Structure 1
Amino acid sequence: MKVTMTVNGKSMSGEAEGRTLLSSFLREELGLTGTHVGCDTSQCGACTVHVDGRQVKACTMFAAEAEGTDVTTIEGMANADGSLNTIQQAFQDYHGLQCGFCTPGMVMAASSLLEQNPKPSETEIREHLHGNICRCTGYHNIVKAIMAASGQDVPAVAAE
């Protein structure tokens, strides 16, 4: 079947079987490989995108369910001139990444959080990231990056 959606501000279409996950459709049919697939079971959050402004794990949604929606992927997060947006820059500045595999999902989750809560506490950030797994950083620098992106002072983040 043909599936059409607006992705990162552009109308895009592709072919998908009824069982095709949104994560696979974005990567394989539309060529947007920034959405990573880590588990296909909704555990890791690497495939997090925004669908009609909601944070969604793309491995939990069929491509056909996204018909007619507005999808934002990590590729759509940069500024119009191609430079890193505030959250992406903070991840770079505060070394909120190591291998980078979880980074797209973390940035998308951070964006959603900051949209809902522009000045989250450390605890609120950690709670919001509960569905995103990072095996490299221990989350401390990710939390610092999100706090910096929110315009807050970045305290020494407690080890947990």
Structure 2
Amino acid sequence: MSKPFTLTVNGREYDLDVPPTMPLLDVLRNHLGLKGSRYGCGLEQCGACMVLIDGSAEYSCSREVGTLGGRSITTVEGLGSAEALHPLQQAFLEEQAGQCGYCLSGILIAAKAFLDRNPDPTRAEVAAALDANLCRCGSHPRILRAVLKAAAALRHEVV
């Protein structure tokens, strides 16, 4: 049984009438049209579905939407726009840090949460922070470089 409620996503309030047990990922993709977060495993194992919930990177594939009233959700679409990319998005483009790209939205979200906590990380710290994201394709070294580059840009250092 569903009961109408409001969900705040990317700074915008949405009135929803969906079952409270519906996974957040399904609401984002199928009800709000936000396709950036991906379904990978459905078991909190791959990180493709990660979103920020009150600034913390969390899996959306198994998170019941009814538990999120009053919380702020940010998807990869909320990081920046085509006209004003977030420094992470810009660095990923510059470093060509994607192969197929399926995992990148989750990695960008995890990296954002991590850099908010640690603005001057080492390469090893970045690698550890992204460990919950399953992708280890051929571009993984470029992903690590992109996060370090974004960290420097966020600190207003010349890269």
Q: What's the TM-score once normalised by structure 1's chain length? A: 0.89
Q: CA deviation at 1:25?
A: 0.9
Deviations 1:72-103, CA, capped at 9 Å, x for gaps: 00110115x73211000100111111111001
1:64 — aligned with what? 66
Q: For the residues of structure 1 that align with 2:100 and 2:66, how far apart are their CA atoms?
A: 32
| Alignment gaps of 5+ in structure 2 | none
Aligned length in residues: 153
1:129 — aligned with what? 130
Does residue 73 in structure 1 map to residue 75 in structure 2?
Answer: yes
Runs of 4+ in 1 over 2 A off after TM superposition: 135-138
3-state SS in 1 of match to 2:80:
coil
Q: CA deviation at 1:138?
A: 4.9
Q: For the residues of structure 2 that align with 1:40 and 1:55, how far apart are their CA atoms?
A: 16
Deviations 1:94-134, CA, capped at 9 Å, x for gaps: 11111110010011111011100001111101111110011
Amino acid in the other structure paired with 2:64: F
Amino acid in the other structure paired with 1:136: C
Within a 5 Å distance, the mapping from 1:12-51 to structure 2 comes to 12-51=14-53
1:103 — aligned with what? 104
Q: For the residues of structure 2 that align with 1:153 and 1:44, how far apart are their CA atoms?
A: 33
3-state SS in 2 of match to 1:50:
strand
Q: For the residues of structure 2 that align with 1:100 and 1:138, how far apart are their CA atoms?
A: 10
Q: CA deviation at 1:153?
A: 8.4
| Alignment gaps of 5+ in structure 1 | 155-160
Q: For the residues of structure 1 that align with 2:74 and 2:147, how far apart are their CA atoms?
A: 19
Q: CA deviation at 1:19?
A: 2.5
3-state SS in 1 of match to 2:7:
strand
* Maintained 8 Å contact 1:74/1:107: yes
Distance 1:13 1:21, change over 3 A: same
Q: What's the TM-score once normalised by structure 2's chain length? A: 0.89
Q: For the residues of structure 2 that align with 1:3 and 1:145, how far apart are their CA atoms?
A: 38
* Maintained 8 Å contact 1:147/1:153: no
